[in-house]
Amino acid sequence: MQKQPDRRPRLNNQIRESQIQVIDFDGKQLGVMTVQEALKISNERGLDLVEVGPSAKPPIAKVMDYGKYIYQKEKKERHSGAGKSAAQEVKTVKIGFKTGVHDLAIRAGQTDKFLQKGYRVKVELTLRGREKGMADLGRVKLGEFSKFITVPYIMEDAVKRSPAGLGMLIKPENKK
């Protein structure tokens, strides 16, 4: 098993180059200088020297508070996942081969609510035992179920066979 390369930037004495392009913590260009000169500037301000552009010639280093930088970066990553839209989440509605008409209407009502809120909906028809041999009747049952759905939708994945039975994925018509 290969070890993953370390993705963190080099700090302070870890910077290997002799000459680096230095940017002040305000974003002001300080010019090309030796690592020792840049370290002296960063130490005077109580900050770190962080290599932000290792592939540039000469490499680019910035004077910054590394701990604060990492904290802000992790905070941004945490919050970027929290604001995902409902369209990314998939709700599941399960029906059985022997599910009655009234129960299909109830499940279709749940599906309508999910579609109105912008969720993608996976409809699963579970086939057990001998029912697995009657998958064509299962497709008819899914077609019957889809007639109960009143909200306009788009079939994202057509009816497919799975180990548990049949399934299809639908999404609201107004979502891209």
Cα separation values, 172 from 68, 81, 84, 101, 147, Å: 42, 22, 17, 23, 15
pLDDT band at 1 (very low <50, low <70, confident <90, very high): very low
For residues 56 and 11, give the distance between their C-alpha atoms in angstroms, rounded to a whole number.
16
Calculate ∠ Cα 90-147-160, nearest 5°: 50
* Domains assigned to the chain: 12-81 (3.10.20.80), 86-172 (3.30.110.10)
Mean pLDDT of the region 124-144 = 87
Q: What is the pLDDT of residues 23-64, one digit of tens each?
A: 887 778 888 888 888 888 888 888 888 887 777 788 888 888
Q: Which residues have CB under 8 Å from 130's CB, separation 6+?
A: none
In this prediction the pTM is 0.50
Q: What is the pLDDT of residues 145-154, one digit of tens each?
A: 888 889 888 8
Q: What is the pLDDT of residues 77-131, one digit of tens each?
A: 777 765 555 557 888 999 988 888 899 899 999 999 998 888 899 999 998 888 8
**pLDDT score at 131:** 84
